[in-house]
Structure 1
Amino acid sequence: MCSFGKYSIAAVVLLFSVPVICQNILFLQTTPSKSHHIWNKQIFDRLYENGYNLTILSYEEEHSIPAFNAPSYTAWLADIPTRVTTMPNYASNFGPNMTFLERCWNLFYWTLDYFYRQWIFMSNEDGRVRELFGMNSSSTTQLEKKSEIVLVNMDFSMDYHQSLPPNVIPVGGLHISRQEQLSPDLEEFLDRPSKAVILFSLGTNVKSEGLGLDINRAILDAFVSLPEYNFIWKHGDPVSLGSLPANVFVRSWIPQGKILSSGKVRLLISHGGLLSLQEAVWYGAPVVGIPFFADQYQNVDKLVRAGVALRLPLPHLNRNSLTEVIQAILQNDRYHENMLQRSKWFKNQPEMPLDRAIYSIEKVIQCKGSLHLQSPTNGMTPVQAYGIDLLVGAFITLALVRKLVRHLLSSVNKLS
């Protein structure tokens, strides 16, 4: 572990005694988040299997990169055209078909997002770069424009329409192919007779035990009131729940993907994390979303609009509301049917998302770059890229022509 100022960076070098193809890959991971190591670990493992040397720089020993959908800054990073009239900013709860007022707010969100990132956040990053590497270092804006390809964790089976340039590769769901195992007691619980299995998991950033004893008791009471269903609950402190009813299985960690792949789960109760929702869509399990922060609100809202989920706001979470929303989904086959259709769309791909990600990375390495795939607007300002300067020029030209015509007409009238 080495320290640069107040930032600690852990350098982890993966060295294995296997033949390599003399290619070295450096991963710079700038987002500390234990919940997202699942996503990037699939890339690490596959590249290692293919014979590459990997060096990973991370802010923590638990390696991580953001598993965020397609962050708003991707538009500036890879010159993705953003239609603010149809592409909701992640800070909003709008759908793609917005009213005039919603489009105005959406334009405000995107504009605020752009100016904050470009003029405040990136400026602060430039200061850190100069502090660490000298005053003559390249700016972060210049560095990010050198990106050859961008892998985005999205798929149009559950995400809004967005035009992507050829160097932006959608690889949503690449973590789904990871290998997991069911413990014997969990496998036995899944095999127990019931109307359906319901999985309750709030990921790793949000912890069930952190909700407090009252909410934990309300959740457990809701499970008890539905004895015809079997519940699997990811909870970091099972002992605090006391004795459990026969239809409730609690563990501090569960192989969520493997459980969903069993085909026995008819409902996922989730915090709205993107990886969890992608697994739910892939395996055809409707969702009750309890979002807490960041993109979770829009992630859940997308599935609600698609007719495959219901949202339960955290302040409204109690025994009755949880029971009602569970029954609302499980007693209406429409949610399951809609999710099965989404699952077909998600799975209908020429290759697995992880294979596509690895192919794209290796193609850049083998071809020594992919400049031919980059957008021609790279290096342009948004004013130039979206033709705003042309509109302003046209407006000024029309104003001058109008003024000239009025002057000529006035002169003719005076002569007559």
Structure 2
Amino acid sequence: MLALQILIGLLALAAPVALYVGFASRGERRPSSPRSVVATFALGMLACVPAELCERALTGLLGPRKLGVGIDLAALVYAYLVAAPLEEGLKVAAATPAFRLRVGQHRPFDAIAYATAAALGFMTLKSAVFLIGHPFSLLAPARTTLTTITATCLATWWGFALGRDGQGRMGGGWFNGAWVLAAAGNAIAHHVAFARGPASVLATIPILVVASVIAWLALRDVLQRSTEKPKVEPREREQEPKKSRRLALAPPSLRAMREALRRSDRGISFFWIGLGMLVTTGVITAMLVGAVVLGRRFGFEFAAIDRDASNAIAPLLLLASAALLSFLFAGWIVARASAARSVLEPAISALLAIIGTIVLLGLAAPVAVVIALACAPLAFGLACLGAWLGLSDA
């Protein structure tokens, strides 16, 4: 039994590393200096040591405190304002030597390779410490694997900001914003994976999906910067059918996302933003009610979600799927009804609906706020996708 536990633990630690090596060792994704990437991975593991020592000392000083129903105030403050910024800062410190020493020699993609290698090394040692120091369960390797892959994808964001800066500067608006988002994403992922019950681990999946999609788009963007793109003549562009406005968004890229969210010539309609928020809220309510009715027919016990029992996974998945799909449908409805030529208005409507939902959850069920924050990026992305599908051709 002990040998099986060790084997499962080693597989949980090796799986993210194997995925990274397999992805980053092919074609254009191969770094200019594999040795620098390996050294950065080792520095990331080394950076985990002071983080663990500091966090254990701070945890002993803070101690657990409860606020309201089941809310650990100290855990929330510690996770979002202490642990996450400290860990993300140490990951940046681990990626700095390779980035600084090879300025002028690396490609924009190499900055992403250093960032992800530092995060992967940091999280590998952190996961090993967790698996060794806690009783064995099949859920523990799943937690460490999900959070490791999520943290690696989130590090791509500030690695992309480093790569797109032609002067090799570490800082600026893009970098600071990406760093803050990565730290916040790691805090939410770690909290729902480790500080909540077994059913809450599923809430890390939306964060992982959003982080990996944006990481993939960032990789495409930096790889395309090194290739020359054929320019389209103005006359040829004018002769394209109007319907090509939508087709121009494929294949997806960060530039396509900016174009889709760009303000259209007709201006922003605050009427449709407000109406779209109400429509989105109504669709969410209808979908959740339908999910509850459907779940009752299948015998799901929705009260198990509050107890975080083992049989809460199925009803939680049903409710989460209904809530996320409602943003897709609502985005499409708002875009079609408003004859939108841009994703901007439906996106703002969805964002306001998400903020309103989180505020209401904070008043009614504060425990669910963290899970709602974890699902918010994916919900916003689905709303934008639905709006893009419903864009007017006129």
Q: For the superposition of Structure 1 and Structure 2, which TM-score range results when normalised by the shorter chain?
A: under 0.3
Considering only CA atoms, is the larger Rg found in Structure 1 or Structure 2? 1
- Structure having the higher helix fraction is 2
Q: How does the TM-score come out when normalised to structure 1?
A: 0.20
- Structure having the higher strand fraction is 1
Q: How does the TM-score come out when normalised to structure 2?
A: 0.21
